[in-house]
Structure 1
C-alpha cells in the first residue's frame, strides 16, 4: 500500500494485514456512530439485536446520502426574498 500521493516522486510501501485494517475500520464506524448519537450494542444484545443493526445500517446510509434539493420558491416567496436581499421596500398592496 502506497501512503504517498501519486504526484510524489518518492514512494513508500507499507505492509498491512487485513484483520487489523478491519479492526481499525470497526473502531472508526463505532466512533462515527457515537458522534451520530447511535447507542453502542452490548455484547449480550448482539445476538438478538438484528433490528438494531439494521437500523444502524440504514442510519449510516442515510448520513451518506446527499441532502435533498431545496424546494422551489413560489413567485411571491421569490419576490419577497429578492426584495429583502436587495433591501427594497415591500411592494404589497395593503
Structure 2
C-alpha cells in the first residue's frame, strides 16, 4: 500500500513536472514569436524610413538642379540685360 501511494505521488510529480515543462515551453514559444514579430516590424519600419529618406534625397537633388538652372537663367538674363543698352547704342 505504501508503494502504491509512493507510485501515485511519483506519477503526480511527473505529471506536474511535464505540465510545467509544457507551460514553460509555451511561454518561451510565445516570447520568441513576440520578439520575432517585433523584429520584423522594426525591419519594415527601417525599410520604410530608408525609402522615405531616399525619396527625400532625390527630391532635394531635383530641387537643387532646378534652382541651379533658374540661377543660370537669371545670370544669363542679367548679362543680356547688361549688354542690351550697349548693343542698342551701337545700333542707333
Scaled to the shorter chain, the TM-score interval is under 0.3
Q: TM (normalized to structure 1)?
A: 0.23
Structure of greater relative contact order (alpha carbons < 8 Å, 6+ residues apart): 1
Larger radius of gyration: 2
